[in-house]
């Protein structure tokens, strides 16, 4: 055998012995390589598929603590009752009939009891009649004649008119009714500066018949180029006393006294009536 090859083999074995070797421990027979499952945090809204919580089918929209869902049911009920009244349906409905007409038959018993015991009895727009419910408008009128009588009472008592919003809410078929009453001259509709409309009773007894001669004289008189002082002078020359301004007078606030700028303070003196009797004994003590 070649001596050079033997020397290379011995050198290789020496290098191999000088390098340390780390052996891996073999796992025991009963152990598994899978890590332990993570614990789920309490209060988290997630669950594994097939778990008991996922199988319950909890709907958070209809959860008992959701106040938004409850008041959404109430809003639909009140709006439906209002539309029924405006369409002329004046007969009352039970809670089951209301939920049926509003397509809310899936409401749970807890929310239904809340409507019966709290929400509907305390709502100012709903009234109770023999265990059934009706819409309660701003004014209890059923037709155009009752609306005219109501406006007449307001006018006689000096209460003025009624807001158009309340008329539209109270009078069934209000849009058609207001147009017919306005054409017939029973009411007058005026618009306020804030764009809101007011309905007034048209009292025809205040209408006066004026002759055409006076109308022509009124229309032919022009006062565009005259101010108030010139109009008053003209009326005085014709022997007519003009109407004086009796409006509220301006109140002049009392003027405050100006503070002493020199900063000198005045002190009140005492015993002025015996000033001649008093003597100064400061030098005698010395």
**What is the model's pLDDT at position 211?**
85
Closest CA to 171 of 145, 134, 193, 190: 145
| pLDDT score of 148 | 92
Average pLDDT for 171-191: 91
Which of 94-112 are b and which e, b meaning 16 or more Cβ less than 10 Å from the residue's Cβ? ebeebbeeeebeebeeebe
Residue 16, pLDDT above cutoff 80: no
Judged on CB neighbours under 10 Å (0-12, 13-18, 19+), 123 is: middle
pLDDT band (50, 70, 90) for residue 146: very high
Taking the CA atoms of residue 121, residue 122, residue 125 and residue 129 in that order, the dihedral angle to the nearest 10 degrees is 20
What is the assigned CATH class of domain 67-135? mainly alpha
Domain residue extents for the chain: 67-135, 144-206
* Domain boundaries 144-206, CATH class: mainly alpha
Domain 67-135 shares a fold with domain 144-206: yes
Per the structure block, which two tokens stand in for 262? Answer: 């020199």
For residue 49, what pLDDT is reported? 44
Q: What are the tens digits of pLDDT across the range 223-268? A: 777 778 888 888 888 887 755 654 555 556 666 766 665 555 665 6
Contacts of 74 (CB under 8 A, 6+ apart): 115, 119, 120, 123
pLDDT 10s digits, 87-103:
888 889 999 999 998 99
């Amino acid at each position: 055998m070649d001596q050079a090859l033997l020397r290379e083999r011995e050198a290789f074995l020496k290098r191999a012995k000088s390098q340390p070797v780390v052996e891996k421990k073999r796992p025991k027979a009963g152990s598994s390589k899978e890590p332990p499952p993570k614990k789920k945090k309490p209060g988290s809204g997630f669950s594994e598929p097939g778990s008991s919580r996922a199988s319950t089918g909890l709907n958070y929209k209809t959860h008992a603590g959701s106040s938004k869902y409850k008041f959404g049911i109430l809003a639909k009920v009140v709006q439906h009752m209002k539309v029924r009244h405006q369409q002329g349906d004046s007969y009352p409905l039970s809670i089951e009939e209301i939920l049926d007409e509003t397509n809310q038959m899936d409401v749970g018993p807890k929310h239904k009891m809340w409507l019966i015991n709290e929400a509907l009895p305390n709502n100012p727009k709903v009234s109770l009649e023999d265990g059934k419910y009706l819409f309660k408008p701003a004014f209890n009128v059923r037709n155009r004649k009752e609306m005219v009588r109501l406006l007449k009472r307001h006018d006689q008592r000096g209460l003025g008119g009624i807001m158009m919003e309340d008329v539209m809410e109270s009078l069934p078929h209000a849009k058609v009714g207001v147009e017919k009453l306005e054409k017939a001259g029973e009411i007058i509709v005026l618009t306020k500066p804030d764009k809101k409309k007011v309905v007034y009773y048209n009292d025809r007894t205040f209408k006066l018949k004026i002759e055409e001669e006076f109308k022509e004289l009124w229309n032919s008189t022009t006062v565009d180029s005259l101010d108030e002082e010139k109009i008053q002078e003209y009326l005085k020359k014709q022997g007519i006393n003009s109407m004086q301004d009796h409006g509220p007078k301006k109140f002049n606030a009392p003027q405050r006294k100006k503070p002493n700028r020199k900063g000198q303070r005045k002190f009140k003196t005492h015993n002025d009536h015996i000033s001649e009797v008093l003597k100064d004994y400061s030098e005698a003590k010395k």
